[in-house]
Amino acid sequence: MFRRRLSVLVATAALAMGTAACGGGTSSSGGGLAASAKPAGYAMTQATNIPASPTLDAIKSRGKIVIGTKFDQPLFGLKNPVTGNIDGFDAELSRLLAKRVLGDDKKIDFVETVSKNREDFIEQGKVDAVIATYTINDARKQRVGFAGPYYLAGQDIMVKKDNTTIKSVTDLNGKKVSSVQGSTSEQNIKSKAPQAQVLLFDTYTTAGEALRDGRVDAESTDNVILLGLVDKNPDAFKLVGAPFTQEPYGIGLKKADTVFRNFVNDTLAEAEKNGDWQKAYAATAGKVDPKPPTPPAIDRY
């Protein structure tokens, strides 16, 4: 029953997304599956000859890496209320990075970041890296550096299950739409549906509450985030399945620390080569994705 519902959801989403979002055909477990699906045995080992860099030196002397991630996004970063663990693809990539720097994937402090504070947290040194469904773009590159991309999402729309009028981004004109402050999603709706009335929240979960309450007609952000919310609320919400942007996810870092950026890119490349990326994906977002995506090419700018 559960499986069938997921596969219908995934098939619908995958069909609708076409090539715009190769990583999109996923759904979450509603909490249980992703939490219990920890990948067994990564191949990643501690790097020999870790270069000197401000961030790498700080991580080594602290004996822990501090990662900013989302705590309320199924599939990518979701805090388990019982264990306190962070589950999801972003959390697993964090573990691989901890393993490569410190030789231990448990030596991580996860700090919750929301969309609007990611650049601030990086600039202020509150985190060593942000791994949080974080789209790489030129405006953000003015303030922070990006390793990756490691995944390609696309912005989509979520509506109430009985909605039949919103089928594409232009249908949002004249409608009320929720999204999150400081996200590319906010900016994309404003440019692609300028007549939409956009209500902004701090997190995608609270933006979803506005849809449930009827304060808005739709919520818009990356397809993989919405699929996680649809899966948690299958009787209330559905994905429209008409992606209208490309959202390459990167790992946000201090802009000036090029050595650390190279190190993180090397870690991603290693994980893609040794199968750890695929294992991490399969145990999280890919748990319900019939066709695992190919990781996008790393941009070593």
Q: Which stretch binds ligand GLU (CB under 6 A): 34-42, 183-191, 258-266, 279-287?
A: 183-191
Given the complex with ligand GLU, which of 34 and 225 has the nearer CB atom? 225
Query: Rule CB under 6 A: is residue 134 a binding residue for ligand GLU?
Result: yes
Query: Rule CB under 6 A: is residue 146 a binding residue for ligand GLU?
Result: no
Q: How many CB atoms lie within 10 A of CB 170?
A: 13
Question: Which DSSP letter does residue 126 get?
Answer: S
Query: In the set 26, 27, 94, 183, which binds ligand GLU (CB under 6 A)?
Result: 183
Given the complex with ligand GLU, which of 217 and 222 has the nearer CB atom? 222
What is the CB-side half-sphere exposure of residue 178 using CA atoms within 13 A? 23
Query: Rule CB under 6 A: is residue 180 a binding residue for ligand GLU?
Result: yes
Query: In the set 135, 178, 220, 284, which binds ligand GLU (CB under 6 A)?
Result: 135
Given the complex with ligand GLU, which of 67 and 102 has the nearer CB atom? 67
Query: Rule CB under 6 A: is residue 276 a binding residue for ligand GLU?
Result: no
Q: Which stretch binds ligand GLU (CB under 6 A): 24-32, 52-60, 178-186, 255-263?
A: 178-186
Place of tokens 């981004």: 169
Residue list 205-224, contact with ligand GLU (CB under 6 A) = 221-222
Q: Which stretch binds ligand GLU (CB under 6 A): 57-65, 83-91, 131-139, 161-169?
A: 131-139
> Do residues 73 and 29 touch, judged by C-beta distance below 8 A?
no
- What φ, ψ does residue 26 adopt, rounded to 5°? -135, 165
The beta strands (E) that lie in the chain are given as 65-69, 72-73, 77-79, 86-87, 108-112, 129-130, 144-153, 155-160, 176-180, 197-201, 218-222, 237-239, 247-254
Question: Which DSSP letter does residue 236 get?
Answer: T
Task: Please report how close the Cβ of residue 96 comes to ligand GLU at its closest, in angstroms.
Answer: 20
Contacts of 230 (CB under 8 A, 6+ apart): 9, 27, 158, 237, 238, 239
* Residue 26, Cβ density class (10 Å: 0-12 exposed, 13-18 middle, ≥19 buried): buried
Crossing angle for the helix pair 89-102 and 54-62, to the nearest 10 degrees: 80
Query: In the set 26, 133, 205, 220, which binds ligand GLU (CB under 6 A)?
Result: 133
Query: Rule CB under 6 A: is residue 240 a binding residue for ligand GLU?
Result: no
Query: Rule CB under 6 A: is residue 75 a binding residue for ligand GLU?
Result: no
Pairing of strands 86-87, 77-79: antiparallel
Q: Which stretch binds ligand GLU (CB under 6 A): 129-137, 236-244, 252-260, 293-301?
A: 129-137
Q: How big is the chain by its Cα radius of gyration, in Å?
A: 18
Contacts of 150 (CB under 8 A, 6+ apart): 93, 249, 250, 251, 268, 277, 295, 296, 298
Residue list 77-106, contact with ligand GLU (CB under 6 A) = none
Task: Please report how close the Cβ of residue 204 comes to ligand GLU at its closest, in angstroms.
Answer: 7
Per rule CB under 6 A, count of chain residues that contact ligand GLU: 13
Given the complex with ligand GLU, which of 59 and 131 has the nearer CB atom? 131
Task: Write out the residues near ligand GLU by the rule CB under 6 A.
Answer: 115, 132-135, 180, 183-185, 221-222, 225, 247
